Structure 1
Amino acid sequence: MPFDYYGVLSGTLHRHYRDQPDTQGRWFHVNLEVDAPAGRYHCAIDVDSHKSNVGVQWKSFTVDAGALGPAAALAPGYHDLDSTPDSGAMDYLRHPELTDRTGVLFRRRPPSWLQELLDLLGSRPWHTGSNVDAAAALETVLAPGQRVLIFGEPFTDDPEGDLGMHNVHQNQGDPEGSQWWPENGIWQDGATVTQRPDGRYDVFLNKFSSQADRTDSGGHPVG
């Protein structure tokens, strides 16, 4: 079933750091410490696969505040979001400002010459690389003191009661038989969003190559 709790943390970035090698097996995160009225939150951004043979993918782009809907105007703190299009929730496959605008035409990555043209026309393709590549891409939009919005699932079972966010990645399209299949759902995707000095927002999206780019109303793969 989809997440019991899904929402967005609005706060100020204190710092970020990468996991040390092998601290979580082969899983790798960029960790953000975000200050909000309730305290300092630990936000774990997945930039590596949960399975060694599955790659990570990401994309980043800039949008106006209006593209984020109600989320852009939220006060500092954690806010639950309904998994609906008008709540401010994220959905990589359905939100009109998040999708690859050429996805309807191309199901595979086009040739390099065509990709350069598509980039000029506003395409938002997925990039594939190592965890180091993904971490470096995320870090280009992180700066201490900036406002951030972290979409995902709040920690609810931390024995020490620490504040935090996880599942900050696509949360739908996991294949049948995987341990994450039961958590598939629409309008519950994670994302890292940072505000620029000019008031616009940099959006960083991340997913795993095993996750489908077409899903049904339950968030399960189709096609």
Structure 2
Amino acid sequence: MGLSNGYGVLIGTKTNYYRDNPDDFGRFYHGNLEVAADGKSFHCAIDVDPKNSPDGIQWRVTTLIVAPTPGTTSPPTTNAFSPILTLPNGWHALPSTPTSGALDYIRSSLLQPSSALRRIRIPIFGPWLFSGLRFLEYYLPPWLLFGPSWQSGTGVDALVALEGVLQDAERCFVFGEPYGNVTGGGSGRRGVHNVHQNQGDPVGGGHDAENAIWQDGATVVQKRDGSVVAFLNKFKTQAARTDDRGRPLP
């Protein structure tokens, strides 16, 4: 079914950031990012609720575009995220498709950790070998892939990683579900929530109606040095593999 209010990306500049007050157990539920765009203020809630588990949050920090080397004239790096960088500040609705700029933690090659296997190239076999290696990655243990895997921990642990990404932010790109009047004027709160993986929720778990592919939330930052870094977050209960409707696979 997917997110009920649609999906897209908010682009703007960071004006404030704060954590939710801790509850009685000392957990933090959200990192709150305030973004200015089109003369309006938007509130973005990055959910890191551990769901009563000491390690119920998983996250990964991924560099999408490497900063140019100072003093060089090399052209800037371009990849699947580059078209998003050209969009003006404001809210942009995105169709849940591979070519719209939408994110999918499982299917976006841009978001996958770089592993030793993935860097292997033998020209005579070309894409056949590469596809075979991608298949093997589902079954080989993480230590053999030599790539960054999901980290697990508390909401506080995840927020420390998020806050590192937000340092030196020049522009923010917050992917998720809009709430409030994100495109019009007037008063009232507006912003983005469901800023986390939005697929793989267990059937019958209360959030499975929102499962769908190409609609994952994320916090992406373009830093002053030109690099682009993404903070990806999910709940440990969410599957790492899903079918074409976003439902969990074993």
Normalization by structure 2: what TM-score? 0.77
How far does the alpha carbon of each residue in 1:32-84 deviate from its partner, in whole angstroms, 9 at most, with x for none? 010000511010011223x2137000000212252314322110000000000
Aligned counterpart in structure 2 of residue 184 of structure 1, from 211, 229, 232: 211
Secondary structure of 1:141's counterpart equals helix
Alignment of 1:89 with 2:89, yes or no, is: no
Q: Aligned-residue CA RMSD in angstroms? A: 2.6
How far does the alpha carbon of each residue in 1:81-139 deviate from its partner, in whole angstroms, 9 at most, with x for none? 0000000000000000112355843658645xx67xx1xxxx23100111111100000
How far does the alpha carbon of each residue in 1:9-42 deviate from its partner, in whole angstroms, 9 at most, with x for none? 000001111111129x966111001000051101
Q: Distance in 2 between matches of 1:40 and 1:177?
A: 36
Classify 1:217/1:82 alpha carbon distance in 2 versus 1 (closer, same or farther; 3 Å): same
Deviation (angstroms), 1:211: 0.4
Q: Distance in 2 between matches of 1:206 and 1:42?
A: 18
Residue 97 of structure 1 aligns to which amino acid in structure 2?
Answer: L
Alignment of 1:62 with 2:69, yes or no, is: no
Deviation (angstroms), 1:2: 0.6
Q: Distance in 2 between matches of 1:179 and 1:33?
A: 28
Secondary structure of 1:138's counterpart equals helix
Aligned counterpart in structure 2 of residue 141 of structure 1, from 162, 165, 168: 165
> Which protein has the larger Cα radius of gyration, Structure 1 or Structure 2?
2
Deviation (angstroms), 1:161: 2.9
Q: Distance in 2 between matches of 1:144 and 1:61?
A: 16
Residue 164 of structure 1 aligns to which amino acid in structure 2?
Answer: G
Matched residues, number: 213
- Structure 1: where are the runs of 5+ without partners? none
Indicate conservation of the 8 Å contact 1:70/1:87, yes or no: no
Match of 1:211 in 2: 238
Deviation (angstroms), 1:164: 0.9
Indicate conservation of the 8 Å contact 1:15/1:144, yes or no: no
Match of 2:155 in 1: 131
Aligned counterpart in structure 1 of residue 224 of structure 2, from 189, 197, 222: 197
Q: Distance in 1 between matches of 2:27 and 2:139?
A: 29
Indicate conservation of the 8 Å contact 2:80/2:101, yes or no: no
Q: Distance in 2 between matches of 1:56 and 1:188?
A: 19
- Structure 2: where are the runs of 5+ without partners? 66-77, 116-133
Secondary structure of 2:79's counterpart equals helix
Normalization by structure 1: what TM-score? 0.86
Q: Distance in 1 between matches of 2:210 and 2:232?
A: 18
Q: Distance in 1 between matches of 2:91 and 2:13?
A: 12
Classify 1:109/1:21 alpha carbon distance in 2 versus 1 (closer, same or farther; 3 Å): farther
Question: What does 1:1-223 align with in structure 2 at a 5 Å threshold?
Answer: 1-4=1-4, 5-22=6-23, 28-49=29-50, 51-53=51-53, 55-64=56-65, 66-101=79-114, 104-105=136-137, 110=142, 118=146, 123-143=147-167, 146-156=170-180, 161-223=188-250
